[in-house]
A and B are shown apart, each in its own frame.
Chain A
Amino acid sequence: MLEVKDINVHYGVIHALKGISLTVNEGEIVTLIGANGAGKTTTLRTISGLKKATSGQILLNGEDITALSAQDRVKKGISHVPEGRRIFPSMTVLENLEMGAYLRKDKDGIAEDLQRVYEWFPILADRKKQLAGTLSGGEQQMLAIGRALMSRPKILFLDEPSMGLAPLLVEEIFNIIKDINKAGTTILLVEQNANLALQIADRAYVLETGSIVLSGTGKELLQSDDIKKAYLGG
């Protein structure tokens, strides 16, 4: 479904991504793990169009989307939950969710998806009139995911959904991520919590200073000694 071919990205003179290639097949959960500053977030930002690649190619369902703007990529079915949630703090929960459906015109479909989001995250239904900035961290993360689902994406990018959340909440969010995937959305997940990410992922890529150094199925990497040492604390 998603094919990234040899992308290079620079921030000024800093060479942030050095020829990254990866694929995500339909229906999979694929995770990118790696240390801080390895280029995980930059990879997602480049694929969703927030950051321009200096070279390389991005294909979505066989179509070259490298030259498209971020908003056109949303039209093609990419939805991105950015690092730090980035909800609109001075808009209500409902308005945030409506912004997720900004490009859609099918009123019935939007209402349907809104109900679906409320089923996944009942707390959002209770708080729909509240300003998003007043939500707790976990609720904001749920809102960010819910908002991203409102565009009815084909592929969903999640950047550090566990960041700053209590362990119990992290588990809850990861269960919902699995459910979302089962309901038919392909997922590309960036996570610091490598253990958790590898457990739910079909496949994984390991990033180190802008290059992919290892890839395999989630299970394989969980067993790998190198990974255990570097990322799993053992």
Chain B
Amino acid sequence: MEQLLQQIINGISLGSIYALIALGYTMVYGIIKLINFAHGDVYMIGAYTGYVCMTKFQLGFLPSLLIAMVVCALLGIIIEKVAYKPLRNATRIAVLITAIGVSLFLEYSTMFVASANVRSYPPMEGLLSKTFKIKNITISMHQIIIVIITLLLMVLLQFVVKKTKTGKAMRAVSQDRDAAQLMGIDVDNTISVTFALGSTLAGAAGVLVGVYYNSINPLMGTMPGLKAFVAAVFGGIGIIPGAMIGGYIIGIIEVFVSGYINSMYRDAVVFAILILILIVKPAGLLGKNTREKV
């Protein structure tokens, strides 16, 4: 029982990270029908930005987190403007391949600048380094912070998407781009904002992971990126609450597999789930089975 609770707590922390990354995947897919494979690398850049802030500039956790989010937002906008916007009317496969190109570019540019070495985040101090023990269950302050910040960002995102004018424009563009234009919505701007928001969340995830696992490297975005993609598909790609739920479920499953079966299998199980969903319910948990419009 205690072990089960402990695993759930670990799963929720990991799931928060996946959920944050999955949101960016799903939002971008929702608006331009692109699986942005460079998204995991934006998360990696977020982790590196946080690292530079904490080590070079000796900033605290919160300022580093905020700076990483801003840097990633800008990076997201630049990626969209430079790489995807010129391909707005190209085939989807062309954009997809470009996304893979952007991903490799970010990974190996980071390697060039920062070297391929694994780096470790400085240890947290004071309250941030505390752990709590209830009987045999350990909860670290890191885990609590991850969950709180993730939930906070999700609430904020829901507010932006549901209540603000920009959020409504985002939904309008994702549902019908032509009709949105006829409302006077600037489609290009709206797409930029979507990339910025998704990348902001990925940036936050990067710093949280840096603090939690304490080690970052230029290729760290690949695996979590793919798993967050699985999470987004699991919940129903293009559906924001779906990405949140998918992220937590994938996180918990992964931790359970590591804990109860064998940690060697955790990646295999996640991708087996992807295959299963695509066979059984391709639209995902919250998705409606609709025909693709041509």
A residues with a Cβ closer than 8 A to B are 48-50, 69-71, 74-75, 79-80, 82, 86-91, 95, 98-100, 102-103, 147-148, 151
Which single member of B172, B182, B187 contacts A91 (CB below 8 Å)?
B172
- With contacts A71-B186, A86-B176 taken as known, whether A95 is within 8 angstroms of B168 at the C-beta atoms is yes
Instruction: Please give me the residue from chain B that is nearest to A99 by CB atom.
Output: B183
Q: Does B171 count as interface, using CB distance less than 8 angstroms?
A: yes
Instruction: Please give me the residue from chain B that is nearest to A101 by CB atom.
Output: B183
Which residues in A have their C-beta under 8 angstroms from that of B180? 88, 99
Inter-subunit contact B181/A99 (CB<8 Å): no
Which residues in A have their C-beta under 8 angstroms from that of B184? 70-71, 74-75, 102-103, 151
A140 smallest CB distance to B (angstroms): 12
B235 smallest CB distance to A (angstroms): 16
Inter-subunit contact B182/A88 (CB<8 Å): no
A209 smallest CB distance to B (angstroms): 24
Top 8 A-B pairs, shortest CB-CB distance:
A74-B184, A86-B179, A103-B184, A70-B181, A71-B184, A88-B175, A102-B183, A99-B183
Which residues in A have their C-beta under 8 angstroms from that of B182? 48, 50, 70, 74, 79-80, 82, 86, 148
A11 smallest CB distance to B (angstroms): 12
B residues with a Cβ closer than 8 A to A are 165, 168-169, 171-172, 175-176, 178-187
A185 smallest CB distance to B (angstroms): 16
When chains A and B are docked, how far (Å) is the Cα of A151 from the Cα of B187?
18
When chains A and B are docked, how far (Å) is the Cα of A48 from the Cα of B176?
16
- With contacts A71-B185, A75-B184 taken as known, whether A91 is within 8 angstroms of B179 at the C-beta atoms is no
When chains A and B are docked, how far (Å) is the Cα of A50 from the Cα of B182?
8
The secondary structure that dominates the B interface is helix
Which residues in B have their C-beta under 8 angstroms from that of A91? 168, 171-172, 175
When chains A and B are docked, how far (Å) is the Cα of A86 from the Cα of B172?
11
Number of A-B contacts (CB under 8 A): 62
Extra contacts besides A99-B169, A151-B183 (7): CB < 8 Å: A50-B178, A70-B184, A74-B182, A89-B175, A99-B180, A102-B183, A151-B184
Which residues in A have their C-beta under 8 angstroms from that of B186? 71
Which residues in A have their C-beta under 8 angstroms from that of B168? 91, 95, 98-99
Inter-subunit contact B169/A102 (CB<8 Å): yes
Which residues in A have their C-beta under 8 angstroms from that of B169? 99, 102
- With contacts A71-B186, A99-B168 taken as known, whether A88 is within 8 angstroms of B181 at the C-beta atoms is no
Which residues in A have their C-beta under 8 angstroms from that of B179? 82, 86-88
Which residues in A have their C-beta under 8 angstroms from that of B181? 49-50, 69-71
Residue of B175, B179, B184 ringed by the most chain A CB atoms within 10 A:
B184
Inter-subunit contact B171/A90 (CB<8 Å): yes
Which single member of A49, A79, A88 contacts B176 (CB below 8 Å)?
A88
Which residues in A have their C-beta under 8 angstroms from that of B185? 71, 99, 102
- With contacts A74-B183, A100-B183 taken as known, whether A88 is within 8 angstroms of B178 at the C-beta atoms is no
When chains A and B are docked, how far (Å) is the Cα of A99 from the Cα of B179?
10
A190 smallest CB distance to B (angstroms): 15
18 contacts between A and B (CB under 8 A): A50-B178, A50-B182, A71-B186, A71-B187, A74-B183, A75-B184, A82-B182, A86-B178, A86-B179, A88-B172, A91-B172, A91-B175, A98-B168, A99-B180, A102-B183, A102-B185, A103-B183, A148-B182
Which residues in A have their C-beta under 8 angstroms from that of B172? 88, 91, 99
B29 smallest CB distance to A (angstroms): 15
Which residues in B have their C-beta under 8 angstroms from that of A148? 182
Which residues in B have their C-beta under 8 angstroms from that of A102? 165, 169, 183-185
Instruction: Please give me the residue from chain B that is nearest to A90 by CB atom.
Output: B175
When chains A and B are docked, how far (Å) is the Cα of A82 from the Cα of B176?
11
When chains A and B are docked, how far (Å) is the Cα of A71 from the Cα of B184?
4
When chains A and B are docked, how far (Å) is the Cα of A50 from the Cα of B180?
11
Residue of A71, A74, A87, A95 ringed by the most chain B CB atoms within 10 A:
A71
Which residues in B have their C-beta under 8 angstroms from that of A50? 178, 181-182
A112 smallest CB distance to B (angstroms): 19
Which residues in B have their C-beta under 8 angstroms from that of A95? 168
B46 smallest CB distance to A (angstroms): 30
Which residues in B have their C-beta under 8 angstroms from that of A48? 182
Residue of A48, A70, A103 ringed by the most chain B CB atoms within 10 A:
A70
When chains A and B are docked, how far (Å) is the Cα of A91 from the Cα of B172?
8
When chains A and B are docked, how far (Å) is the Cα of A69 from the Cα of B178?
12
